[in-house]
C-alpha cells in the first residue's frame, strides 16, 4: 500500500512540474516571437512605403497611388518602425506582436493594422 501511495505522489509531482514547463515554454515562445518581429519591423518598416503606393494604386488608380498611397505608406512606415521598436523593448511582457500582419512580407497584398 505504501508503494502505491509513493507512486501516486511521484506521478503527481511529475505531472505538476511538467505542466508548468509547458506553460513556461509558451511564454518563452511568445516573448521570442515578439522580440524577433519587433527587430524585423524596425529593420523593414521602410517597405511599407512602396507597399502602400502599389496597393492604393491598384485599388484606386495611379494618381491616388502616388498621392494618397505615398501619405499612407509614410504613416505606416513610421507606425511599423515605432511599434516594432516598442515590441522589441517590451518583449518580456506576455503579449502578441502589435502589428498585423506581424511581418511586412507575410501578406504583402493586405493593409497593415495595429
Q: Check whether 105 has a pLDDT greater than 70.
A: yes
56-66 in b/e form (b: 16+ CB < 10 A) is: bbeeeeeeebe
Q: What is the extent of the structural domain holding 46? A: 2-89
If one counts the domains in the chain, the total is 1
Distance CA 23, CA 26 (A): 5
Alpha helix segments (H runs only) across the chain:
2-44, 48-60, 62-89
Distance CA 14, CA 21 (A): 11
Predicted local confidence at residue 1, as pLDDT: 65
Phi, psi of 100 (to 5 degrees): -125, 120
Q: What is the pLDDT of residues 18-75, one digit of tens each?
A: 555 555 568 888 888 999 999 999 999 999 999 999 999 999 999 999 999 999 999 9
Neighbours of 51 (CB within 10 A): 23
pTM (2 decimals)? 0.73
Domain membership flag for residue 36:
yes
CB 30 within 8 A of CB 94: yes
Domain membership flag for residue 30:
yes
Domain membership flag for residue 98:
no
Domain membership flag for residue 20:
yes
Amino acid at each position: 500500500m505504501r508503494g502505491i501511495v509513493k507512486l501516486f505522489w511521484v506521478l503527481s509531482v511529475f505531472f505538476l512540474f511538467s505542466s508548468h514547463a509547458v506553460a513556461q515554454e509558451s511564454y518563452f515562445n511568445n516573448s521570442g516571437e515578439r522580440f524577433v518581429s519587433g527587430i524585423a519591423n524596425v529593420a523593414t518598416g521602410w517597405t511599407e512605403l512602396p507597399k502602400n503606393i502599389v496597393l492604393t494604386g491598384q485599388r484606386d488608380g495611379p494618381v491616388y497611388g502616388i498621392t494618397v498611397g505615398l501619405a499612407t505608406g509614410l504613416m505606416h512606415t513610421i507606425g511599423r518602425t515605432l511599434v516594432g521598436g516598442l515590441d522589441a523593448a517590451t518583449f518580456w511582457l506576455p503579449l502578441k506582436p502589435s502589428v498585423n500582419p506581424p511581418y511586412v512580407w507575410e501578406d504583402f497584398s493586405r493593409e497593415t493594422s495595429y
